[in-house]
Amino acid sequence: MVLKEASANLVVWLLCTLIPTLFTDEAVHLPAPPDLSVHSTNMKHILTWSPVTIPGETVNYSVEYQGEYERYYTSSTWIPSSWCSSISTPECNVTDDITATVAYNFRVKAILGSQSSSWSTLKELFNRNSTVLTSPRMKISKDGYHLIVEFEDMGPYFEFNVTYWKKSPNSQKELYKIVREGGSLVHLETMEAGAEYCVKAQTIVEVIERSSTFNQVECIRAQDEFPLLTIVLVSSAGFVLFLVGLPLFIWKTSQLLRYSCCPVVVLPDTLKITDSPQKLISCKKEDIEPCDIVARVIYPEELFRSWIQEAL
Amino acid sequence: MKLSGFPLSLLCATLFLWLAHAGSLKRCQISMDVHQIEKSFQGIKNTIQTKDVFQNVTILSASETLFNITPSDVCCMTKNILGFYVDKVFRNHEESDPRIQRGLSTLANSFLRIRNALEQCKNQRNCDCREEATEKFQIIVGNYEQMEVKAAAIKALGELDILLSWIIRNYRPKAATK
């Protein structure tokens, strides 16, 4: 009796293990993807796992997630990941899935044709408040006397806490400013001429109530009111102008003096006589029109010439 | 000697009452992912509100319950309503569209987080419920239970825009003015 039962059980067990294998096309055992983990830096979360390799085949993966709500209030519903319902690489950017500051679980299965592996889950649940926050990359510059700061765009979760001060031997009063978003130039302070200012910053992520460490302090000096180079250039230019301008001035002044005390009278061209004095007016007897008496100015040399001619 | 003890104890009592009153004016500071909550709701709003066929009914009844509330009752009311949504409303709605599932998951998990944060709030006294606040909350529960379960869940989800803007106004006034 007992033997009969035992043998019946054995037969049933054998059937149960062998029948499923008869229905599978391939005798390939598809293992669940191992070593699931989430790496998170600056609120960007990447799920990775070790690949499942089947020689000659491309294995795809499917990712699902659940938050604390699904785990405790809905008898473990799983939701398909936003971007990774069928991917061929063993990693998935799950930033768009982790949308609340609660503990999330992920599960991944391998797919080969119509065959799926069992699900792998995370060993440790992931909460985004464990993300690694790095100190921000910052660029400080000056626009005239304005101290300008710029941060890279890190997304909507990030604000920047900026601390800055004017370097002075006595005391350094620290000033603070919250920059609400990166990717744009922000005016910090109008600097005093010649003073040096220093700036440092950290990121603040309010949704997880955490902030990064401060970055390296960077300092910048405001321009002097009358920079030395400008003074030198201006004075050199002035000296050159002086050297060129002085002779001109002297010449002009001497001309002025000459005109004012010993002016030279110069006859304008319109009154000069170019022809001989005799031919100026031809007054022939045949002409009806009588000639008027004309008073003519004679130069001394012309007078002398006319005497000579008359004498000859 | 007994008489000198009396003024001292009176002073202590006055001081205690004054501290308690001053404490109640402070609200629990909680971090809230306003950006994600608004983005998620906007993504599902049209689909959910289209499914709500009962136009003349309201569950939140905001003018009776939310808008006339005293500042000291805000914490209690927020905690109760969020708990109500997490325990009842989200559970009673079945959704097969993964896009809507994701949006509802974000809202449910966010509400869970805020509700837990309010419960853990250090100044517990500030989040105690007075009778008036409890009565107003019961109006909401009553409205919900009068409707058929699935229709009630859809309507309550559709009215999330009213609830969210009220919560954001109270806990993130800067975000509300953006």
For testing contact with chain B, the best of A75, A83, A99 (most B CBs within 10 A): A99
Kindly indicate the confidence band of residue A303, based on its pLDDT and cuts at 50, 70 and 90. Answer: confident
Q: How far is A79 from chain B (nearest CA, A)?
A: 7
Q: A138-221: which CATH architecture?
A: Sandwich (2.60)
Residues 6 or more apart whose CB falls under 8 angstroms from that of B76 comprise B127, B128, B129, B130, B133, B134, B137
Does the beta carbon of A102 lie under 8 angstroms from any beta carbon of chain B?
yes
Q: CA-CA distance, B132 to B130, in Å (whole number)?
A: 6
Helix (H) or strand (E) holding A175: strand A175-179
Here the CATH number for the domain that contains residue B100 is 1.20.1250.10
Give pairs for A22-28: CB < 8 Å, separation 24+. Answer: A24/A115, A25/A113, A25/A114, A26/A113, A26/A115, A28/A54, A28/A57, A28/A112, A28/A115
Nearest to B33 among A73, A77, A100 (CB): A100
Share of chain A above pLDDT 90, in %: 63
Residue B9 lies in a domain: no
- Chain A residues lying within 8 Å of B110, measured CB to CB: 99-100
pLDDT for position A103: 98
For range B114-138, the mean pLDDT: 84
Q: Which two tokens stand for residue B92?
A: 């009673």
Does the beta carbon of B146 lie under 8 angstroms from any beta carbon of chain A?
no
Residue B15 lies in a domain: no
- pLDDT, one tens digit per residue, over A160-197 is 999 999 999 888 899 999 999 999 999 999 999 999 99
pLDDT for position B21: 47
pLDDT for position B24: 37
pLDDT for position B67: 87
Residue B6 lies in a domain: no
CA distances from B37 to A237, B70, B109 (A): 66, 25, 10
State yes or no: pLDDT of A61 exceeds 80.
Answer: yes
Which residues, numbered 195 to 214 in chain A, qualify as contacts with chain B under a Cβ-Cβ cut-off of 8 Å?
Answer: 206-209
pLDDT for position A231: 78
Which of the residue ranges A1-10, A78-87, A90-99, A210-219 would you say has the lowest mean pLDDT?
A1-10
At B127, the amino acid letter reads C
Residue B151 lies in a domain: yes
For testing contact with chain B, the best of A65, A76, A85, A101 (most B CBs within 10 A): A101
According to CATH, the topology of domain A28-130 is Immunoglobulin-like (2.60.40)
Contact (Cβ atoms closer than 8 angstroms) between residue A85 and residue A62? yes
Residues 6 or more apart whose CB falls under 8 angstroms from that of B88 comprise B144, B153
- pLDDT, one tens digit per residue, over A115-131 is 999 999 999 999 999 99
Does the beta carbon of A73 lie under 8 angstroms from any beta carbon of chain B?
yes
pLDDT for position A29: 83
Kindly indicate the confidence band of residue A278, based on its pLDDT and cuts at 50, 70 and 90. Answer: low
The helix-helix angle for B160-171 and B149-158 (nearest 10°) equals 40
- State the complex-level ipTM: 0.83
Interface contacts (A, B; CB < 8 Å):
63
Q: Which two tokens stand for residue A91?
A: 């990693």
pTM exceeding 0.80: no
State yes or no: pLDDT of A206 exceeds 50.
Answer: yes
- What residues are paired with A179 via a beta bridge? A160
Does the beta carbon of A155 lie under 8 angstroms from any beta carbon of chain B?
no
pLDDT for position B8: 74
Domain that holds residue B36: 32-171
* Mean residue pLDDT across chain A: 87
Contact (Cβ atoms closer than 8 angstroms) between residue A176 and residue A147? no
Which of the residue ranges A26-30, A51-55, A128-132, B121-125 would you say has the lowest mean pLDDT?
B121-125
Question: How many C-beta neighbours within 10 Å does residue A69 have?
Answer: 24
Q: Are A28-130 and A138-221 the same fold in CATH?
A: yes
Sign of the Cα pseudo-torsion (A91, A93, A94, A100, in order): positive
Q: How many domains does chain B have?
A: 1
Cα nearest neighbour of B92 on chain A: A74
pLDDT for position B22: 44
pLDDT for position A165: 96
Buried b (16+ CB within 10 A) or exposed e, A149-171: bebeebeebbbbbbebbbeeeee
Does the beta carbon of B110 lie under 8 angstroms from any beta carbon of chain A?
yes
Share of chain B above pLDDT 70, in %: 83
Which of the residue ranges A61-70, A144-153, A225-234, B112-121 would you say has the lowest mean pLDDT?
A225-234
- pLDDT, one tens digit per residue, over A19-49 is 555 555 455 689 999 999 999 999 999 999 9
The helix-helix angle for B74-84 and B98-119 (nearest 10°) equals 140
- Chain A residues lying within 8 Å of B31, measured CB to CB: 101, 206-209
A68 contacts B109? CB cut-off 8 A: yes
In terms of Cβ atoms closer than 10 Å to its own Cβ (0-12, 13-18, 19+), residue A74 is: middle
Nearest to B112 among A69, A206, A208 (CB): A69
HEC sequence for chain B = CHHHHHHHHHHHHHHHHHHHHHHHHCCCCCCCCHHHHHHHHHHHHHHHHHHCCCCCCCCCCHHHHCCCCCHHHHHHHHHHHHHHHHHHHCCCCCCCCHHHHHHHHHHHHHHHHHHHHHHCCCCHHHHCCCHHHHHHHHHHHHHHHHCCHHHHHHHHHHCHHHHHHHHHHHHCHHHHCC
- Chain A residues lying within 8 Å of B113, measured CB to CB: 68, 100-102
Residue B67 lies in a domain: yes
- pLDDT, one tens digit per residue, over A210-243 is 999 999 999 999 988 876 677 788 889 989 999 9
Q: CA-CA distance, A48 to A63, in Å (whole number)?
A: 11
pLDDT for position A179: 96
Residues 6 or more apart whose CB falls under 8 angstroms from that of A8 comprise none
pLDDT for position B37: 95
- Chain B residues lying within 8 Å of A67, measured CB to CB: 105, 108-109, 112
pLDDT for position A280: 53
User: Which residue carries 């608004």 as its tokens?
Assistant: B38
Q: CA-CA distance, B30 to A51, in Å (whole number)?
A: 41
CA B158 vs. chain centroid, Å, equals 16
A99 contacts B106? CB cut-off 8 A: yes
Residue B123 lies in a domain: yes
B106 contacts A207? CB cut-off 8 A: no
For range A75-80, the mean pLDDT: 92
Which of the residue ranges A139-148, B64-73, B144-153 would you say has the lowest mean pLDDT?
B64-73
- pLDDT, one tens digit per residue, over B56-104 is 899 998 888 888 888 888 999 999 999 999 999 999 999 999 999 999 9
Q: Which two tokens stand for residue A243?
A: 């050297």
For range B138-164, the mean pLDDT: 95
- Chain B residues lying within 8 Å of A79, measured CB to CB: 98, 101-102, 105
Q: CA-CA distance, B23 to B27, in Å (whole number)?
A: 9
For residue B86, which of A74, A89, A172 has the smallest C-alpha distance? A74
Could you state, in order of their start, the residue ranges of all structural domains in chain A?
28-130, 138-221
More confident residue, A231 or A262: A231
Nearest to B31 among A68, A80, A206 (CB): A206
Kindly indicate the confidence band of residue B12, based on its pLDDT and cuts at 50, 70 and 90. Answer: low
- Chain A residues lying within 8 Å of B98, measured CB to CB: 79-80
Q: Which two tokens stand for residue B167?
A: 């919560």
Q: Which two tokens stand for residue B143?
A: 């409205």
Q: CA-CA distance, B115 to B128, in Å (whole number)?
A: 14
Residue B92 lies in a domain: yes
pLDDT for position B30: 84
Residues 6 or more apart whose CB falls under 8 angstroms from that of B87 comprise A73
Residue B10 lies in a domain: no
- Chain B residues lying within 8 Å of A206, measured CB to CB: 31
- Chain A residues lying within 8 Å of B35, measured CB to CB: 156-157
Q: CA-CA distance, A7 to A14, in Å (whole number)?
A: 10
For range A247-251, the mean pLDDT: 91
